[in-house]
Amino acid sequence: MDINGKYFKSYLEREDAFKKQYNADRIKKQHAKGKLTAHERIALLFDSGTFEEIDAYVTPSDQGVEFGKIEMSYGDGVVTGHGMIDGRLVFAYAQDFTIMGGSLGIVHARKIAKIQEMALKMGAPIIGINDSGGARIQEGIASLNGYGIIFNNIIQSSGIIPQISVIMGPAAGGAVYGPALTDWVFMTSHTSYMFVTGPNVVREVLNEDISSEDLGGAETHARKSGVANMIYDDEENTIIALRKFLSYLPSNNLENPPVAAYDNSTPDVNEKLRDIVPDDPNKAYDVRDIISLIVDRNSFFETSELFAPNIVTGFGRLEGKTIGIVANQPKVLAGVLDIDSSTKGARFIRFCDVFNIPILTLEDVPGFLPGKDQEHSGIIRHGAKLLFAYSEATVPRITIILRKAYGGAYIVMNSRSMGGDFNFAWPSAEIAVMGPDGAVAILYRRELADAKDPVAMKKELVKRYREKVANPFIADEKGYIDEVIDPAMTRRKVLSAFTALSNKSVKVPSRKHGNMPL
């Protein structure tokens, strides 16, 4: 083709107009808010030079043009395409706030839907970067229809490809349910908000004054609601963390997670593990210190760190292979299971199960949290989610009982009877129906009431209970756990157990789906 001919010339003219559209003014406006532009975010996310934009030249639907306020721009306020992240194919869309506030019109929605369908067909993860004012009012029902298509696509792809939402601006009204349906939500502090109804409506309806930040900022959703799984101080770090996060995940449910290079730098036998759990059962410790000594050095990526911190969830690597970790955290609320920690754990386990990630459980749990507050809010049905999730999971499952394993909470935390493949215990483990104090008070109630020195008698009984009932050796001898192990040997044991389980296959009965308590 003659590059000076008229066909090529109009091609170049159009390209020029496209470049002009993203001029310095728009970029400056976005930067002034502390935000990056859609194209800058995409550039950070993908390996350099690998992103291919699709539908860059589409123009908005002419619906609602008579009403005005439609800007005839290229791309309709969203950048979509595919590229490579660490050499693996990933699809993405990034809403562009500089064009009609990133509002969602039907063309915008169709672009997203197209990318979603491609991602599903190719079996590659999809990332949605949200920065949008919401539905495009001028387009009316067409815009709502657009949301419906997007939501439906997310649900149809759920459990087949990893779907990750990144919130880097407002997401209000119906728009929040897109991210809510995806597997993971990343948010950037101070510049992103999510709420079903904004502060203005809250003020009108409830006479309650609340800022956007307090109502639906990153911190709020990470700590209180649990909607945001990971939050970071700025957009660069959010995206760098997201890239790292993806390295733990397979591209789809038929693949195994990628295996990272392992440099042999983590000792398989580590005596430091013997010193972390205090002998005094009333003393707390940070279970993350144990996790970091079991997994490959610096490989632990904690998820939902701020929400329900009494249970720790996250990904780590064992000789380069991804595992999911669920651990009670004695440092926070004694590591008790409550509503939030149960749902956090259950959702994490289900993600691991669907994407072929083996699960390691570290158990030190005093029980379920008692009290009116929890009972009335439904700890029974929420706690049941954790039971359901564990028992349903067909990926390799290993439990290590570090210390307390009492009552219902013992059963829940991946016990053998719930289908756990290997259950190990440290010598410090206490496995029983209830803690020594409670047990003695029930069984010896009368004797204690009649005793001359009830305190001394109780102390003696507690000691005997620990010796005769609540210790791991009895469970070992009766075959309820597989082995009592030296803490120093934990990594070696876990490695060989997961190797033994690497070809685990389970026949799942044919059914539409189980009926998990929701």
Partner 1 sequence: MNAEKPELKKLFALSSEGRKYSFTLPLKNVIRIGKRDYNIELREDEKYGIHVLWKNRRYPVEIVRTKQNRYEILFNDISHIFTVETPFAMQRKKVLGSGKGRSERLVVKAPMPGKIIDVLVRENSQVLRGEALVILEAMKMQNEIQSIVNGTISRIGVKPGQNVMKDDILAEITVK
Q: 85 vs 497, which CB is nearer to partner 1?
A: 85
What does the CA dihedral 251, 255, 257, 262 come to, rounded to 10 degrees? -120
Of 124, 242, 121, whose CA–CA distance to 184 is shortest?
242
Q: What number of other Cβ atoms are within 10 A of residue 400's Cβ?
A: 26
CB 385 within 8 A of CB 427: no
Q: Smallest distance from the beta carbon of 177 to partner 1, in angstroms?
A: 27
> CA separation (Å) from 486 to 271, 400, 497?
9, 11, 15
Catalytic residue list contains 409: yes
Give the gyration radius of the chain's Cα atoms: 27
- If binding is defined by CB under 8 A, does position 437 make contact with partner 1? yes
According to CB under 8 A, which residues from 271 to 310 bind partner 1?
A: 281-284, 288, 292, 298, 302, 305
Cα 237 to Cα 245: distance, rounded to the nearest angstrom: 12
Q: Smallest distance from the beta carbon of 256 to partner 1, in angstroms?
A: 26
Q: 309 vs 396, which CB is nearer to partner 1?
A: 309
* Token code pair at residue 242: 């997201």
Q: Smallest distance from the beta carbon of 6 to partner 1, in angstroms?
A: 24
Q: 36 vs 142, which CB is nearer to partner 1?
A: 36
Type of residue found at 7:
Y
Element (H, E) at 445: helix 445-450
- If binding is defined by CB under 8 A, does position 232 make contact with partner 1? yes
Q: Given the rule CB under 8 A, which of 175-183, 231-239, 247-255, 508-516 is the region that contacts partner 1?
A: 231-239
Q: 210 vs 241, which CB is nearer to partner 1?
A: 241
Q: Which 3 state secondary structure label does DSSP give 7?
A: helix
Q: 39 vs 492, which CB is nearer to partner 1?
A: 39
Active-site residue identified among 198, 320, 408, 438: 408
- If binding is defined by CB under 8 A, does position 34 make contact with partner 1? yes
Catalytic residue list contains 83: no
- If binding is defined by CB under 8 A, does position 42 make contact with partner 1? yes
Of 357, 350, 408, whose CA–CA distance to 384 is shortest?
408
Catalytic residue list contains 378: no
Q: 194 exposed, middle or buried (CB, 10 Å; 0-12, 13-18, 19+)?
A: buried
Catalytic residue list contains 174: yes
- If binding is defined by CB under 8 A, does position 5 make contact with partner 1? no
- If binding is defined by CB under 8 A, does position 435 make contact with partner 1? yes
Q: Smallest distance from the beta carbon of 471 to partner 1, in angstroms?
A: 17
Per-residue x/- track, 156-195, partner 1 (CB under 8 A): ----------------------------------xx----
* Token code pair at residue 25: 């003014």
DSSP string over 114-134: HHHHHHHHHT--EEEEE----
Q: Where are the alpha helices (DSSP H) in 158-267?
A: 177-181, 199-206, 212-216, 218-220, 235-246
According to CB under 8 A, which residues from 365 to 384 bind partner 1?
A: 366-367, 369, 371, 373
Length of the chain: 518
Q: Catalytic residues, which ones?
A: 173-174, 408-409
For partner 1, the binding residues (CB under 8 A) are 18, 31-34, 36-37, 39-40, 42-44, 48-49, 51, 53, 56, 190-191, 232-234, 236-237, 240-241, 244, 281-284, 288, 292, 298, 302, 305, 330-336, 366-367, 369, 371, 373, 435, 437
